[in-house]
Amino acid sequence: MDGTTTGTARLERLVGVLRCPVCEAVLAPGERSLRCPSGHAFDVARQGYVSLLTGAAPGANADTAAMVTARAAFLDAGHYAPLSAALARLAGELSPPDAVSLDVGGGTGHHHARVLDALPRAFGLTLDLSKHALRRAARAHPRMGAAAGDIWRGLPVRTAAVDLLLNVFAPRNGPEFRRVLAPGGALLVVTPEPGHLAELREARGLLSIDPAKDERLRRTLAEHFEQRHTEALEFPLALTADEATALVAMGPSAHHATKAPAAPATVSAAFRLSVHRPR
């Protein structure tokens, strides 16, 4: 079975979650494509994901092939395994085993796959702008589909169709998140704490993290969500010089590095996980 066939089969199981990004009608599976009653068609790529973008592709904000390669190498090495485990634990507490999960800005689907492992009958959809990331997300888990979608143009997801929405280091659109969540659904957000990668930021001349980031998150979501739970997660990362380089290269900080690579070191990972319920 090739990637397209496998990807189409996974997307067919999620077709009740998706909607046409042009007219907002329901989508139905076609021959290696998804179609709405008005005739809008969206091809499933050979690698198994479908593009539900409209108009000019917003490629400037999408992760490049190099960034995705670096991220995959870093995550697959298990460096952020405690974060994946925390997400899976919270997902198991928040959602039924047969939930529909949505990861907005989910990249390669690495964390989402661990969440689906914790929900044995759940199906998940990973949305991202990067075709390079989606090629990996389409193969990340047998119960995960992958689609290109733009959070600011409206999510290509039906209203109240999602039980669990993941948002890990990604932009947040409060009104759209509220729209797609079912009654009783939950939004699970991960943001970096001010001390996240502090040693690496200093050594490489990277931008610092805004200490008011958590407060800005609450303000962004306050109109549509109520924060119900928050917890901190910190752990050390023992990195080689190559792994430190991959960590920098996998995110937007790669564009701001001003110093030569640091020697192998222990780096602090520090995250804030928060749970939000729709108002």
What averages of pLDDT result for each successive group of 10 residues across the chain (279 residues)?
Answer: 67 89 93 92 94 73 91 95 98 95 97 97 96 96 95 94 97 95 96 91 74 71 94 95 87 56 74 96
Q: State the residue range of the domain holding 178.
A: 51-278
Q: Is residue 112 part of a domain?
A: yes
Residues forming beta bridges with residue 33, ordered by sequence position:
30, 43
Burial class (CB in 10 A: 0-12, 13-18, 19+), 137: buried
CA 33 to the chain's CA centroid: 23
- Quick one: pLDDT at residue 61? 74
Q: Is residue 13 part of a domain?
A: no
Domain count of the fold of the chain: 1
Q: Is residue 249 part of a domain?
A: yes
Q: Is residue 15 part of a domain?
A: no
- Quick one: pLDDT at residue 265? 74
- Quick one: pLDDT at residue 212? 62
Q: Is residue 5 part of a domain?
A: no
Q: Is residue 160 part of a domain?
A: yes
Query: Which tokens hold the place of 229?
Result: 């739970």
Q: Which residues of 50-61 are buried (b: 16+ CB within 10 A; e: fewer)?
A: bbbbbeeeeeee
- Quick one: pLDDT at residue 1? 46
In the chain, count of helices (H) and strands (E)?
Answer: 9, 11
Note the pTM of the prediction, 2 decimals: 0.91
CATH classification at residue 100: 3.40.50.150
Q: Is residue 41 part of a domain?
A: no
Cα angle value 124/145/49 (rounded, 5°):
155
Q: Is residue 57 part of a domain?
A: yes
